[in-house]
Chains A and B, each alone.
Chain A
Amino acid sequence: MFSQYFGHYLLNRGLITLDQLADALEYQKSVHVKFGVIAVDEGFMTTGQVEEVHEKQKQVDKRFGEIAVELGYLTEAQVEALISNQKQGHLYLAQALVDRKYMTIDEFGTALSEYKKGFSLSDDQFEAIRNGNIDTLVENILSSEDVSLQEKYGKYISLFAKNMIRFIDSQVYLEVADNSSLESTNWFISQDIVGEASLKTGFSMNEDALLAVASVYAEEDLTVVDALAKDAVSEFLNLHNGIYLVNMSNWGIELTMNPQQIQESTPLYEGSLIVNVHSSKGSFQLVLS
Chain B
Amino acid sequence: MVNNLSVLICDDSMLIRKKLRSTLEKCKCETIYEAENGVQAVEKAKELNPDVIFLDIVMPDKDGITALKEIKAINPDVKVIMASSVGTSDHLKEALSNGAYDFIQKPISLDSVAHIIEKVLKEGNENV
A binding-site residues for B, Cβ under 8 Å: 55, 58-59, 217-218, 227-228, 231-232, 234-235, 238-239, 241-243, 245-246, 249, 254, 256-259
Does the CB pair A242–B60 fall under 8 Å?
A: no
Nearest-CB residue, chain A, relative to B59:
A259
Do most interface residues of chain B lie in helix, strand or loop, or is the interface mixed?
A: loop
Chain B contacts for A243, CB-based, 8 A: 85
Additional A-B contacts beyond A59-B107, A228-B18, A259-B58 (17; CB < 8 A):
A58-B107, A59-B105, A59-B106, A218-B15, A227-B14, A234-B13, A235-B15, A238-B13, A238-B85, A239-B106, A239-B107, A241-B85, A245-B86, A246-B88, A249-B90, A257-B58, A259-B12
In angstroms, how far is the closest chain B Cβ from the Cβ of A165? 15
Is B15's CB under 8 angstroms from A257's CB? no
- Which residue on B lies nearest to A237, using beta carbons? B85
A-B contact count (CB 8 A): 54
A228-B17 Cα distance, complex, nearest whole Å: 11
**Is B14 a contact partner of A242 (Cβ separation < 8 A)?**
no
Q: In the complex, what's the smallest C-beta–C-beta distance from B46 to chain A, in angstroms?
A: 23
Given contacts A227-B14, A238-B13, A238-B85, contact A254 B107 (CB under 8 A): no
Q: With contacts A55-B109, A58-B107, A242-B106 known, is A228 near B15, CB below 8 A?
A: yes
The reply to whether A231 and B85 form a contact with Cβ atoms under 8 Å apart is: no
Asked if B90 contacts A242 (CB within 8 A), the reply is: no
Contact of B88 among A58, A234, A249, A258 (CB under 8 A): A249
Query: A249 with B85: in contact, given A231-B13, A257-B58 (CB under 8 Å)?
Result: no
In the complex, what residues of B have CB within 8 A of residue A232's CB?
A: 15
Q: How far is the CB of A213 from chain B (nearest CB, A)?
A: 12
Cβ of A273 to closest chain B Cβ, rounded Å: 23
Q: Please give, as numbers and ranges, the residues of chain A lying within 8 Å of B107 by CB-CB distance.
A: 58-59, 239
Residues of chain A contacted by B87 (CB below 8 angstroms): 59, 242, 246
6 pairs of A and B residues whose beta carbons are closest in the complex: A242-B85, A249-B88, A242-B86, A259-B60, A231-B14, A239-B85
* A239–B16 alpha-carbon span in the complex (Å): 11
Given A59-B107, A239-B106, A242-B84: A249 and B89 interface contact (C-beta under 8 Å):
yes
Q: Which residue of A lies closest to B88 (CB)?
A: A249
**Closest B residue by C-beta to A52:** B111
